[in-house]
Structure 1
């Protein structure tokens, strides 16, 4: 498969960028010609950021699975589509060719149909990193159902919130999943969640860990049994549903600055074209290469650069069930050598964690197949960048430092591997179609270079979110109301003398922990549910491994006989039960009060400074109701 839109030189990048900004309709219309359509579009782009209303390829008809699978069958049917590496290296790996993937997706699409799923229905998928997760998502897309994948580490309460928001009618899950030396009881968690989810009519359960589960008559069925029914019918063929370019493809829930997760909506055509275009260009993917994205499909990175982007490009994508340190810290390097991985795309958190084991795990590892390295989820610090470059890339593999978000669908700012320059800790330049700007607090654009401000994007790209599910006004408020006629990313940014962009972190009440966004309000709400807690405030602070850690200041009523450490453990258990272990605070400081203005607003700016250790740089506290509380908090800082 060739990619006529692949950028091969700095000059080509400059030309593509110029055309994409000056004439986006011609540029993206030309790129879209490389994809399979049932009917061509009438209009490439219509948009305004006021409502906001964004429509790409209006009138176009297509199905994303025909682009991800069917169109590769003529010439690449026997090419591996998905290589699956299990959690335990002693267990058998699996390879699904494009032909096998096609067969399995159609089979499961028919299973969904047999269980009442129709075009437009929402299907919740809660599974570990197994091929069945990819098959289930693609099967939904095949029949026009909207999938909502929920990360396998979320709690029953978090799952229930998401299922109820989407009004999902079917849940696809497994008996359990393996993660390092743990077995995660997925079906049991789903059972707990569904006690408050009246919309769910069917639960399809895949066998994986052989964990005993309770199967509810009339609601629950086994994946394997349902497949047998389809096979008995003798015709697993399932035609690809004709979808409008702007039909919903999936909902993915992400934390915001309020407690309620918001369902980011991506649509069929724009998302397909953006993920494929960015995958092929950023990583300079060549046919036959093995691409290893370590992200879980429960996050947007897994959707875009493990599943849809690589498959639409006809690539071989490697899916790993386990964690980088199990059974030892050599695991990723063994996978790279065993499968001759060419592209490795992972998070700075993973790199920093592996750095901590020293060079011993790298002894005897060749890593000669690697051509491109990538990082995602947060800015990579220079020390980790240099270690990755020297010890993994052997100073011969370009590193792409990609900046993007759940809402953007795919990479917005990044160097292009070996084509445009890189700079440690910088995302560098925008990709074609992306028009970034820096603005001050008032929204005034900061011209020129060597400036810092809030990062906004001035015009739409094909992968931009279209709405927040069931609540369009929330989308407008969150992304388009802060600055007039611009998409606000929520990130601070610096532009250097060469117009390269460096993301400096969130400027709203959202934390970036191990590359995953967690809203402070969500964590505070969970802490406040604990019986003894009066009030709490959560901020981020620099963390050596995670990038950002969670620091919680908690007012406790003191009526408990527990030791502070036991109370901390109780609070951590509450957060784990309500959100999941990913949101557990790293530090909990008990306080007698919180710094508040006379109007009752918590001054998180002060708490952030204390958490960061900048106790001599607190700023003005004269507007506080009780300035002395700041001294007490400083004195007892953890």
Structure 2
């Protein structure tokens, strides 16, 4: 990327990406103060960024605002109270409803009163443990309304994981329901909460239960214990509406936990001012969404994507957000997403590559899309896992609208790289996450921290400090861990933990986590590049490549693939063809000969493939089943590759001997 795309005094074109990005880097103070005009402030900031040290900064340090006011009240005050704020569609129950901005204001203000009656004030924490129902959005906004800090935990997380988060955040209140719905089962939440409370500190004083019909359990079943249980509806009827409470821009908006290398999750802290400014801008400039448009993020409120683009960003922009309780396949079929697009006139869909791969596996000809009128769809955005070129082409050819892969992390809260549809839709490059967002100064560093940002040079992807507004500020209760985890590897930079390179046009290629680079006999191979090649095969739906131990070469690449629905091919034939593909596209240096077919890949609930767990199983190492795993039974196929597991009950870890499926 060039150091200077503009000459002095050249006017900035806001409909061209390059000058907008350049200005954000050269003049962050002016750029972000101007952007701050997009929201309403109780006290308007006079400064954009304050550097407190080389590793500590604050955005809009003298500003005051309330995010809930900006997401709800200001739209009502502007005369748009009748506009639909939330569409709720449950494929599990058949429920379909709409909530206007005026109705949302009433619900949020009253539930803020419920929280206040429970003793919650500015700075207190509230843990939210809910499925994809409107109460999740209402409770998050109610926390923001009174300056409380929410921590949303994915509904259905095990009690042990819930207890860890209770101990770390020390919330006064838990907001939950009696249960969540999966296609083939009901997950009862209240017994999980009881077990978690028994294993955690005594900070929780109240549990508020939004009861769902046809699911066992209620607040009344848990009366008389040390923790008070309240029924949501009864408490809401008894509460008075509460007005928005202004807080400093640097006040924590929420805590969201992400996995840590030590096994203890890190509580990512997002600020209030930078978060509101960045997300508001992103709706128009990244996604091309304005007031009244229907924006659907097919994710979950328990993940960062759900926080940013189911809840906050669409409402800050005055758009209509869609909360969907269902799956891309199986509720009832692989046409579910297209039914929703048609029914509600969705303008932009944002989902994960794993979701569209699931659709591709069941419906490779995209017949589900052809059964529905999806002409309202102007763009499909993907993030969460790297989008391989084969999946990109399948979507792009089948949907006839721009398919835009973009890259971000729990820590960043919004995109690092994207094709900025709302500024200038750049020519697509399959396999690339496009270009750095305005405000993001992305560099490629070698192992010693030297800047090697030149076309085609692969290295560590790092972001120059300070990070843009809305990115993480610290780790809850442990600023030293924040610095240790993200800032120490390359002083002056945030280490993304991903490797990649830029091309001659500044497009970024994220090739995988830095620990996913395989060193085969001294040759560094990207798992992302290998997975791309495996996905080229007509039979392959998804692929994961890991590096397993090899006595001769140090490491060797091992491929795990799933097949498209209805595709029949003998394993031996497929293995031979995949080995030949890698030899053709990567070369003999890859020494690729190990491949296996499984029914499904192990993933987190957010869709990320558990490559570390795959590698540990195939290497015969001890491993711990991640709490975020979508379905533990998918490990059975992997264990079959390394039979006779030796269970170690004391740690919940397993050790397995390896058996290689190889092509000689």
**Which category describes the TM-score, using the shorter chain as reference length?**
0.7 to 0.9
* 1:540 CA drift (Å): 9.7
Q: Distance in 1 between matches of 2:75 and 2:614?
A: 49
> Which residue, 397, 416, 428 being the options, matches 1:390?
397
> Which residue, 614, 622, 627 being the options, matches 1:551?
614
Tell me whether 23-32 or 71-80 shows the greater mean CA deviation: 71-80
**Secondary structure, aligned partner of 2:151:** strand
- Contact preservation (8 Å) 1:575, 1:584: no
* 1:489 CA drift (Å): 0.3
Q: How does 1:475-486 map to 2 (within 5 A)?
A: 475-486=482-493
Q: Distance in 1 between matches of 2:256 and 2:352?
A: 20
Deviations 1:321-340 (A, max 9, x none): 11111111111111111111
Q: Distance in 2 between matches of 1:278 and 1:261?
A: 28
1:45 is the counterpart of 2:45: no
Q: Provide the residue aligned with 1:449 in structure 2.
A: 455
Deviations 1:430-481 (A, max 9, x none): 1111100001111111132121111000132001211100111000000000
Q: Provide the residue aligned with 2:96 in structure 1.
A: 93
TM-score, normalised to structure 2's length?
0.77
* 1:39 CA drift (Å): 0.5
- Contact preservation (8 Å) 2:417, 2:437: yes
Tell me whether 584-593 or 145-154 shows the greater mean CA deviation: 584-593
Residues 323 and 105 (structure 1), Cα distance of their counterparts in 2 relative to 1, 3 Å cut: same
Q: Distance in 1 between matches of 2:305 and 2:418?
A: 15
1:124 is the counterpart of 2:130: no
Q: Distance in 2 between matches of 1:412 and 1:401?
A: 11
Residues 241 and 542 (structure 1), Cα distance of their counterparts in 2 relative to 1, 3 Å cut: farther
Q: Provide the residue aligned with 2:361 in structure 1.
A: 356
> Which residue, 152, 155, 161 being the options, matches 2:155?
152
1:321 is the counterpart of 2:328: no
Q: Distance in 2 between matches of 1:338 and 1:177?
A: 24
Q: Provide the residue aligned with 1:421 in structure 2.
A: 427
Q: Distance in 2 between matches of 1:82 and 1:509?
A: 40
Q: Provide the residue aligned with 1:598 in structure 2.
A: none
Q: Provide the residue aligned with 1:226 in structure 2.
A: 235
Q: Distance in 2 between matches of 1:220 and 1:150?
A: 19
Tell me whether 501-510 or 452-461 shows the greater mean CA deviation: 501-510
Q: Which residues of structure 1 form unaligned runs of 5+? A: 1-7, 231-235, 514-519, 521-538, 558-567, 595-628
Q: Provide the residue aligned with 1:63 in structure 2.
A: 66
Residues 201 and 118 (structure 1), Cα distance of their counterparts in 2 relative to 1, 3 Å cut: same
Tell me whether 39-48 or 134-143 shows the greater mean CA deviation: 39-48
Q: Provide the residue aligned with 1:289 in structure 2.
A: 293
Q: Provide the residue aligned with 1:625 in structure 2.
A: none
- Contact preservation (8 Å) 2:112, 2:241: no
- Contact preservation (8 Å) 1:146, 1:250: yes
- Contact preservation (8 Å) 2:88, 2:322: yes
1:440 is the counterpart of 2:446: yes
> Which residue, 84, 98, 108 being the options, matches 2:111?
108
Residues 442 and 593 (structure 1), Cα distance of their counterparts in 2 relative to 1, 3 Å cut: farther
> Which residue, 264, 278, 287 being the options, matches 1:274?
278
Q: Provide the residue aligned with 1:529 in structure 2.
A: none
* 1:274 CA drift (Å): 1.1
> Which residue, 156, 159, 170 being the options, matches 1:167?
170
Q: How does 1:205-224 map to 2 (within 5 A)?
A: 205-213=209-217, 214-217=221-224, 219-224=228-233
Q: How many residues align?
A: 548
C-alpha RMSD of matched pairs (Å) = 3.1
Q: Distance in 2 between matches of 1:9 and 1:498?
A: 19
Deviations 1:60-107 (A, max 9, x none): 01000111011111231111111010133x623111111010110001
1:470 is the counterpart of 2:477: yes
Q: Distance in 1 between matches of 2:305 and 2:268?
A: 14
Q: Provide the residue aligned with 2:512 in structure 1.
A: 505
